[in-house]
């Protein structure tokens, strides 16, 4: 009896995770791509502050900051602001010589939220929009134009489409694919169903006074974006996903970098599930489905690689032990197939012809890392884990393929 009850509960949980992802995947596939209209000659150009927290990013920050000068946006209507945390004096001097505004900070315990709050304190209030980027992020040349257009249409919380900057190793390819799938499900698919998009941590633009007030409430070390999106929803600002505003993000190249990055992400997911569990249900009773979706539904989901491994394991076990189990093996096989469909629907055709086997070669190692991390999460959310960046060039053929 206990065995069957455990089996049923496990099947119900894993099948629910798959069904959730599948619904969003199909919704994202059926959704019409939003058409971007050209700005009129007399259009209003919001004053934008591009905020770039940079912790020990001397290798990349100069290239990043210089790239923003290529924006097809009036130069007088935006400023690049580098929040320099533990940068070398020579780097800070070069940034200032380039005409880039630098806010120097120093903390006993560095976090992105602390850096952003320090920048807001020094910048004053002469801006309409705050765009938050990471030190390795490069913006597509029309990014600010598209963000401004969405803002003029009344959107006060906007998430751009973060895509891979590089695809030069199996882990980078897996990371790039993960970004494509996450964008499709939790941003495009969510918006298609009338839900708020989730935010990613960079490529996010907010009404400046709104961002300034909300950031003051955030003290998180890891996963500050999860707190940020819930505060936005609570104040009545759903996140609009802007699919055609691309921001390039460096992807991890090796297992160690992958392990460190995912440890922070997975830890923050489960910490915030526990933190907002009660409030998430309270908000659902009040009719706030967006809050419940972001606080409960997305945090209770198993990470996609662990979900894939878990369902595969259960399916194989079901075929081996089907004489002792209540749920037939074909039931597990069906859930496994639906999970695969939910992951493959978002991917462009070029992935299958050019990158499929590269991704496949790195998948077993990545899955093993993700599974092992589930037993090593203690304290990870209270530790600042820095990912080093070095890439300055953009090489992502999948982006062009996805747009065709």
Q: Scanning the structure block, which residue is given the tokens 């939910």?
A: 342
pLDDT at 237: 96
Q: Scanning the structure block, which residue is given the tokens 């990471």?
A: 134
pLDDT at 404: 47
Q: Are strands 78-85 and 48-55 parallel, antiparallel or unpaired?
A: parallel
pLDDT at 376: 63
pTM: 0.89
**How much of the chain, in percent, has pLDDT values that exceed 90?**
56
When pLDDT is cut at 50, 70 and 90, the band that residue 82 belongs to is very high
Instruction: Return the domain boundaries, the chain.
Output: 31-301+347-404
* Range with lowest mean pLDDT among 53-57, 150-154, 247-251, 260-264: 260-264
Higher pLDDT, 368 or 68: 68
* Range with lowest mean pLDDT among 106-115, 179-188, 288-297, 370-379: 370-379
341-344 CB contacts, 8 Å cutoff, 24+ apart: 341/22, 341/25, 342/18, 342/21, 342/22, 342/24, 342/25, 342/185, 343/21, 343/25, 343/181, 343/304, 343/308
Higher pLDDT, 337 or 329: 337
Residues 257, 75: Cα–Cα separation, whole Å? 36
Model confidence at 170: pLDDT above 60: yes
Q: Which fold has domain 31-301+347-404?
A: Spore Coat Polysaccharide Biosynthesis Protein SpsA; Chain A (3.90.550)
The tens digit of pLDDT for each residue in 235-267 reads: 999 999 999 999 999 877 777 777 777 777 777
The tens digit of pLDDT for each residue in 267-280 reads: 778 888 999 999 99
From the list 49, 64, 252, 244, the residue with the least C-alpha distance to 161 is: 244
Angle at the Cα of 288 from the Cα atoms of 287 and 293, rounded to 5 degrees:
125
The tens digit of pLDDT for each residue in 359-398 reads: 888 888 877 877 777 666 555 555 555 566 655 567 676 6
């Amino acid at each position: 009896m206990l065995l069957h009850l455990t089996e049923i509960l496990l099947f119900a949980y894993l099948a629910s995770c798959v069904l959730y992802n599948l619904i969003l995947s199909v919704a994202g596939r059926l959704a019409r791509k939003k058409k971007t209209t050209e700005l009129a000659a007399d259009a209003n150009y919001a004053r934008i502050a591009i905020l770039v927290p940079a912790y020990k990013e001397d290798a990349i920050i100069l290239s990043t900051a210089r790239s923003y000068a290529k924006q097809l946006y009036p130069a007088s209507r935006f400023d690049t602001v580098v929040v320099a945390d533990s940068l070398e004096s020579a780097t800070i001097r070069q940034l200032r010589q380039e005409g880039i505004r630098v806010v120097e900070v120093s903390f006993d315990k560095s976090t992105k939220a602390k850096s952003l709050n320090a920048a807001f304190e020094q910048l004053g209030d002469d801006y309409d929009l705050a765009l938050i980027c990471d030190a390795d992020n490069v913006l597509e040349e029309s990014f600010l134009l598209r963000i401004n257009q969405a803002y003029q249409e009344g959107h006060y919380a906007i998430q751009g489409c973060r895509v891979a900057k590089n695809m030069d190793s199996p882990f980078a390819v897996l990371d790039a694919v993960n970004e494509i799938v996450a964008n499709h499900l939790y941003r495009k698919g969510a918006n298609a169903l009338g839900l708020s998009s989730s935010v990613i941590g960079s490529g996010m633009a907010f009404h400046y006074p709104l961002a300034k007030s909300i950031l003051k409430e955030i003290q998180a070390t890891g996963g500050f974006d999860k707190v940020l999106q819930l505060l936005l929803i609570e104040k009545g600002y759903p996140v609009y996903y802007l699919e055609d505003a691309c921001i390039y993000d460096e992807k991890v190249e090796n297992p160690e970098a992958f392990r460190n990055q995912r440890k922070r992400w997975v830890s923050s997911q489960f910490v915030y599930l526990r933190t907002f569990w009660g409030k998430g249900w309270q908000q659902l009773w009040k009719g706030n489905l967006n809050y419940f979706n972001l606080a409960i539904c997305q945090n209770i989901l198993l990470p996609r690689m662990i979900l894939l491994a878990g369902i595969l394991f259960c399916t194989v076990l079901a075929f081996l032990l089907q004489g002792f189990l209540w749920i037939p093996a074909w039931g597990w096989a069906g859930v496994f197939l639906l999970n695969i469909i939910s992951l493959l629907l978002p991917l462009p055709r070029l992935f299958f012809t050019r990158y499929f086997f590269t991704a496949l070669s790195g998948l077993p190692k990545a899955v093993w890392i993700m599974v092992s991390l589930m037993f090593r999460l203690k304290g990870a959310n209270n530790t600042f884990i820095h990912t080093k960046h070095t890439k300055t060039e953009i090489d992502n053929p999948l982006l062009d393929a996805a747009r065709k």
